[in-house]
Amino acid sequence: MKIDQEIGALTLDLVNIASVSQDEQAIADSIQAALVEVKHLKVSRINNSIIAQTNFGSNQRVVIAGHLDTVPANNNFPGKKTSTEIIGLGSVDMKSGIAAALKLAAAVTNAKYDVTYLFYESEEIETKYNGLELITKQAKDLLNCDFAILMEPTNGIIEVGCQGTLRFQVSAMGTRSHSARWWNGENAIHALTPVLEILNSYKSREPIIDGHKFREGLQAVKINGGVAGNVVPDEVTMTINHRFAPDITPAQAEENMKKLFKDFNFQLLDVASGAPTGLNNELIKDFVSKIGTAIAPKFGWTDVARFAAAGIPAINFGPGDPNLAHHPDEAVKIKQIEDVFASLKDWLTK
């Protein structure tokens, strides 16, 4: 993989280095080898994450970050190139963003901010494997910065903040009996009827935060129950996912859900806080005005929230349609990768 080639070809090269989560050694080796050749960068490595820092002498630093891993292939590996698109696993999420960041790392030899380019492992799986998390634990100083840009796919617009996510279970108990003599039992699955009613009649909150409308959600994502085809079930559990806007804390979101499902056994599974928009931060304001694209709220959870939790304002800005992320037909327009690269380069150097 050579950085010094056309950005579409570079994206294709990256797509064609398999890097399903926990199998990022080859791509990390390849990126490390390319970046150590770039004179103005100091390159470090933590496990399979690569960190490359400039030293332009600015008193402000920005992190430009992207993850190296992909979800498993779905008949879309290796990738291919047409005259306008790169098609294949990870082309959208997020090797086109990685290609743009690598190009910037090589091309920007002086800038108003110092830059830390971060290419990290295992974003698509549990937190304990996440490269950002690992660097935070082992070498936190490498992440020191005033502002972070996550090059996750946003279709070339700026996406601000992100919603929090909370998963919990509600369960109901009953009494087993033969389904032919059902009157001897009490059906636990039927006892969840009020839960379904709550879910169906739930009115999503749509708060406007710094001028941008977020949209919460409450969805059943799994149900477990039943004993056999002729038994009235005595136990049922439903897993529910609540997406909450970043104007409330995880504790408030949990409290709201406990209130809503107060008549049921409630068990919290996991929760991750959202991230504020950062639009009142001076560096983000400057970024937004220089880049000049549309701005939208981020509905899905991204590592922007991890930066926010560490006190670092962060936004999402990258090539690729997020609706195609993790999709078998992943494809990205080469023109969009070029545009994202060019606007970041102008912002850093003009």
Minimal distance in Å, beta carbon 64 to Zn ion? 15
Distance from C-alpha of 320 to C-alpha of 123, rounded to nearest angstrom: 17
Is residue 29 part of the annotated active site? The answer reads no
Q: Is 93 in the site for Zn ion (CB under 5 A)?
A: yes
Among the listed ranges 136-144, 145-153, 191-199, 214-222, the one in contact with Zn ion (CB under 5 A) is 145-153
Is residue 241 within a helix (H) or strand (E), and if so which, with residue range? strand 235-244
CB of 6 to Zn ion, least distance (A): 23
Looking at 69, 121, 152, 303, which residue is catalytic? 69
If one counts every other C-beta atom within 10 angstroms of the C-beta of residue 116, the result is 23
Q: Nearest CA to 98 among 71, 125, 123, 68? A: 68
CB proximity list for 275: less than 8 A, separation 6 or greater = 161, 162, 246, 298, 304, 305, 307, 308, 309, 314
Q: What is the helix (H) or strand (E) element at residue 151, kind and residue range?
A: none
| Residue range at the interface with Zn ion (CB under 5 A); choices 55-63, 150-158, 199-207, 231-239 | 150-158
The least CB distance from residue 123 to Zn ion, in Å, is 6
Report how far residue 109's alpha carbon sits from residue 105's, in angstroms, rounded to the nearest whole number.
Answer: 8
- Pick 120 or 347: Cβ nearer Zn ion: 120
Classify residue 7 by burial, with Cβ atoms within 10 Å: 0-12, 13-18, 19+. Answer: buried
Q: What is the DSSP string of 142-197?
A: GG--SEEEE----TTSEEE-B-EEEEEEEEEE-B-EEGGGGGGSB-TTGGGHHHHH
Q: Does 89 bind Zn ion (CB under 5 A)?
A: no
Q: Minimum CB separation from Zn ion for residue 279, in Å?
A: 22
Is residue 37 part of the annotated active site? The answer reads no
- Residue 212 C-beta: closest distance to Zn ion, Å: 21
Asked if residue 108 lies in contact with residue 349, where contact means CB atoms within 8 angstroms, the answer is: yes
**Given the residues 24, 93, 121, 123, the one annotated as active site:** 123
Residues 13-32 that bind Zn ion (CB under 5 A): none
Q: How far is the CB of 337 from Zn ion (least distance, A)?
A: 15
Helix (H, G, I), strand (E, B) or coil at 50: strand
**What single DSSP character describes residue 261?**
T
Q: Which is nearer to Zn ion, 205 or 326 (CB)?
A: 326
Name, in order, each residue with C-beta under 8 angstroms of 136's C-beta and a sequence gap of 6 or more. Answer: 143, 306, 310
Residue 88 or 225: which CB sits closer to Zn ion? 88
- Taking contact as CB under 5 A, which single stretch among the options 151-159, 230-238, 286-294, 312-320 is the one that binds Zn ion? 151-159
Amino acid at 52: A
Binding flags for Zn ion, 155-184, as an x/- string (CB under 5 A) = ------------------------------
Applying CB under 5 A, among 17, 27, 94, 308 the residue interacting with Zn ion is 94
Q: Does 321 bind Zn ion (CB under 5 A)?
A: no
By the criterion CB under 5 A, which residues form the site for Zn ion? 93-94, 152
Catalytic residues: 69, 123
